[in-house]
């Protein structure tokens, strides 16, 4: 054997021509066989895959295309069940969408702490640094919360989750956030805040039992409203940004699903939520980063040097509001996609009731960071920002027992402590 392989020359070639031919045939047969096996494996792989594989159509407009996610299988189902298992006598089982997000992480952790079953869902998109989302995921994992990686537009995945766990509640926090980014990427707002929300509601209305749903609306729905403080009864038909318009659309969509299918729906209008593990696209967060780097920050002011202010609300207060909403949510009344009676439909402001000018926020940060900011005062750009927000929270106080207790100074102190610690650890581990 090794002489044939190693010897060159005419004689040897002639002598071995039969063997060559037979080897050639056997090689072709082997190649055909292995190609067949390979094609079978690819075929089986795609057949077993959830519908999101075939639905994966990336578009520039949406940015949030349905990526390929892996789910299914006995081990995966076991993790899902274990995460969603209720561990306290009056506990509930909650599917938290956007669980690797800022509010989602805090709400998931709080639910888990009190013994509720919690399963997270998040698509880990790159709107802001996904490594922060991964760090939040790791934090939740340590407390026993599993986050399934997937998109709320993936109907097959949502159906599968409800097959594995009959969730009593959905805390829907997955969304495309950010007021100003809507001008850069309008499609992502439609994809997540409208199409994604409708997809989720379609699943919720058809499963049995239907869950009760609490979801994140936004203070931005008040848009150009000038009544202060903003009350749930005020008009919300003048959104100033596409973000606000999609959240307002969400409120109307919620009305429809409540009306037709008997889904119990509670919308929460969050007012500029801030705190540890926050969102890097928000002003308090990137101001902190830029002040520490000695970079100048832009502070917006309205016409005629008008003050721009926000009703900044601390994350722990928001979490209490979310839990209050879940705890007072009544059951949905439909089954098999049909309504059998009127169901609860609510919208609440969750704010702090004390607006603070953005320039004061910067002064607090300067004190906490012990660094003077390089302030660049500029005109409020016409890209969706409103001049001020101010929540009237009496309805939430009455119905949910909501009572914010954190002023901006104390809340930012906790944020800065977290920020310095988190980024020193990240920096150290990168060295
Ligand atoms: O309540 C909400 O529903 C929304 O809250 C948040 O939006 P906003 O209140 O606009 O927060 P954020 O961007 O932190 O700007 C804070 C302030 O800084 C001012 N601002 C901003 C940037 C800048 O460079 N300079 C500046 O002065 C700016 O004019 C503003 O006055 C969420 O991002 C949004 O997803 C949504 O949840």
Query: If you take atom 16 of ligand 1, which residue's CA is the nearest one?
Result: 283
Specify the pLDDT at position 336: 80
CA of 341 to the centre of ligand 1 (A): 40
Name the residue among 130, 128, 161 with its Cα closest to residue 52: 161
Residue 121 has pLDDT above 60, yes or no: yes
Q: Give the rounded percent of residues in the chain with a pLDDT score beyond 70.
A: 84
Ligand 1 centre distance from Cα of residue 352 (Å): 15
pLDDT score for 56: 32
Q: Taking residues 294-310, what's their average pLDDT?
A: 97
Length of the chain as a residue count = 431
Specify the residue with its C-alpha closest to ligand 1, atom 9: 272
**Cβ < 6 A, ligand 1 pocket:** 177-179, 218-220, 270-272, 282-283, 298-300, 308, 310, 358, 385
Report the residue among 175, 358, 361 best suited for mutation to probe ligand 1: largest number of ligand atoms under 8 A from its CB.
358
C-alpha 395/C-alpha 350 separation (Å) is: 10
Q: Which of 71-75, 123-127, 128-132 has the lowest mean pLDDT?
A: 71-75
Q: Per-residue pLDDT averaged across 264-268, rounded? A: 99
C-beta neighbour count of 46 within 10 angstroms? 10
Query: What is the whole-number distance in angstroms between the Cα of residue 14 and the centre of ligand 1?
Result: 83
Distance CA 136, CA 140 (A): 6
What mean pLDDT, rounded, does the chain reach? 89
If phi over 0 gives left and psi between -120 and 50 gives alpha, with beta otherwise, what is residue 170?
Answer: beta
Task: Report the nearest-CA residue for atom 6 of ligand 1.
Answer: 272
Q: Name the DSSP letter for residue 388.
A: B
The pLDDT score that the predictor gives to residue 39 is 52
Pocket test for ligand 1, best of 272, 359, 364 (most atoms within 8 A of CB): 272
Q: So what's the pLDDT on residue 5?
A: 33
Atom of ligand 1 nearest to the CA of 247: 3
Q: Residue 272 C-alpha to ligand 1 middle, in angstroms?
A: 7
- Tell me, in angstroms, the distance from the centre of ligand 1 to residue 304's CA: 20
Q: Is 405 helix (H, G, I), strand (E, B) or coil?
A: coil
Core vs surface per residue 56-90: b (16+ CB within 10 A) or e: eeeeeebbbbbbebebbeeeebeebeebbbeeeee
Q: How confident is the model at residue 332 (pLDDT cuts 50, 70, 90)?
A: very high
Bin 38: left if φ > 0, else alpha if -120 < ψ < 50, else beta: alpha
**Which atom of ligand 1 is the closest one to the Cα of 299?**
27
> Is pLDDT at 386 greater than 60 in this prediction?
yes
Pocket test for ligand 1, best of 245, 246, 282 (most atoms within 8 A of CB): 282
What is the tens place of the pLDDT at every residue in 198-211?
999 999 999 999 99
For β-strands 356-357 and 309-310, DSSP reports them as: antiparallel
Identify the H or E element spanning 299.
strand 296-301
Mutation choice for ligand 1 from 310, 362, 377, 378, CB with most ligand atoms inside 8 A:
310
User: Which residue numbers are catalytic?
Assistant: 243
**131 CA → ligand 1 middle, Å:** 22
Residue 251: pLDDT above 80?
yes
- Cα separation, 221 vs 235, in Å, equals 9
Cα(283) to ligand 1 centroid in Å equals 6
Handedness of CA 182, 187, 190, 193 (dihedral sign): negative
Peptide bond into 209 cis (omega under 30): yes
Residue 430 has a pLDDT of 81
Instruction: Tokens for 216, please give them.
Output: 């994140």
Beta bridge partners of 356: 310
Angstrom distance (rounded) from CA 258 to CA 118: 24
Show the beta-strand stretches assigned E in 339-373.
Answer: 345-350, 356-357
Concatenated DSSP letters of 135-189: HHHHHHHHTT-EEEE--TT-HHHHHHHHHH---SEEEE------SGGGGT-HHHH
How many C-beta atoms lie closer than 10 Å to residue 209's C-beta? 13
Q: Is 414 helix (H, G, I), strand (E, B) or coil?
A: helix
Q: Could you report the per-residue pLDDT of 340-350, keeping only the tens digit for each? A: 999 999 999 99
What pLDDT is recorded for position 35? Answer: 58
d(CA 278, CA 415): 8
What pLDDT was estimated at residue 383?
A: 87
Residues 6+ positions from 149 with CB-CB distance below 8 Å: 69, 70, 71, 122, 123, 124
Q: What confidence score (pLDDT) does residue 26 get?
A: 56
Q: 10 Å Cβ neighbour count for 201?
A: 23
Closest CA to 386 of 224, 148, 245: 224
Burial class (CB in 10 A: 0-12, 13-18, 19+), 252: exposed
pLDDT at residue 13 is higher than 50: no
Angstrom CA distances, 203 to 76, 206, 431, stand at 21, 5, 46
Give DSSP secondary structure letters for 308-359: PEE--EEHHHHHHHHHHHHHHPPPP--BTTB--S---EEEEEE--S--EEHH
Contacts of 96 (CB under 8 A, 6+ apart): 104, 107, 108, 111, 118, 119, 120, 121, 170, 171, 173
Q: Six-digit token pair at 318? A: 């928001």
* pLDDT, tens only, 30-83: 656 565 555 544 444 333 333 332 233 333 444 555 566 888 999 999 999 999
Q: Which fold has domain 74-430?
A: Rossmann fold (3.40.50)
Nearest to 175 by CA among 119, 240, 108, 246: 246
User: What are the boundaries of each domain within the chain?
Assistant: 74-430
Closest ligand 1 atom, CA of 271? Answer: 1
Torsion of CA 372, 376, 381, 384, to 10 degrees: -10
């Amino acid at each position: 054997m090794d002489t044939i392989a190693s010897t060159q020359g005419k004689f040897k070639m002639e002598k071995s021509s039969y063997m060559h031919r037979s080897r050639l045939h056997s090689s072709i047969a082997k190649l055909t066989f292995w190609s067949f096996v390979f094609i079978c494996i690819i075929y089986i792989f795609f057949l077993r895959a959830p519908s999101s594989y075939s639905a994966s159509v990336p578009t520039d407009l949406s940015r949030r295309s349905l990526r390929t996610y892996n789910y299914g299988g006995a081990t995966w189902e076991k993790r899902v069940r274990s995460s969603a298992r209720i561990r306290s006598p009056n506990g509930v089982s909650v599917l938290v969408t956007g669980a690797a997000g800022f509010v989602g992480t805090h709400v998931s952790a709080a639910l888990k702490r009190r013994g509720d079953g919690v399963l997270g869902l998040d698509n880990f998109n790159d709107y802001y640094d996904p490594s922060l989302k991964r760090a939040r995921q790791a934090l939740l994992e340590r407390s026993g919360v599993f986050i399934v990686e997937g998109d709320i537009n993936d109907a097959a995945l949502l159906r599968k989750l409800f097959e594995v766990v009959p969730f009593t509640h959905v805390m829907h926090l997955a969304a495309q956030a950010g007021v100003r980014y809507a001008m850069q990427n309008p499609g992502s707002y439609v994809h997540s805040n409208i199409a994604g929300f409708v997809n989720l509601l379609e699943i919720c209305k058809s499963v049995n039992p239907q869950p009760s749903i609490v979801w994140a609306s936004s203070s931005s729905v008040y848009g150009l409203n000038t009544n202060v403080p903003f009350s749930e009864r005020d008009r919300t038909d003048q959104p100033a940004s596409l973000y606000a318009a999609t959240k307002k659309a969400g409120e109307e969509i919620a009305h429809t699903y409540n009306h037709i299918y008997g889904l119990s729906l509670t919308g929460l209008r969050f007012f500029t939520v801030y705190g540890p593990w926050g969102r890097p696209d928000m002003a308090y967060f990137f101001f902190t980063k830029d002040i520490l780097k000695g970079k100048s920050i832009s502070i917006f002011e309205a016409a005629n040097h008008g003050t721009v202010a926000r009703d900044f609300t601390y994350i722990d207060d928001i979490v209490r509001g979310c839990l209050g909403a879940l705890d007072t949510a009544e059951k949905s009344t439909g089954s098999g996609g049909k309504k059998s009676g009127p169901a609860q439909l609510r919208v609440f402001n969750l704010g702090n009731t004390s607006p603070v000018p953005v320039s004061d926020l910067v002064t607090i940060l300067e004190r906490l960071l012990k660094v003077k900011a390089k302030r660049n005062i500029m005109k409020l750009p016409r890209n969706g920002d409103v001049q001020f927000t101010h929540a009237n929270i009496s309805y939430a106080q009455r119905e949910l027992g909501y009572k914010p207790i954190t002023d901006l100074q104390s809340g930012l102190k906790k944020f800065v402590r977290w920020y310095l610690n988190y980024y020193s650890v990240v920096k150290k581990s990168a060295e």
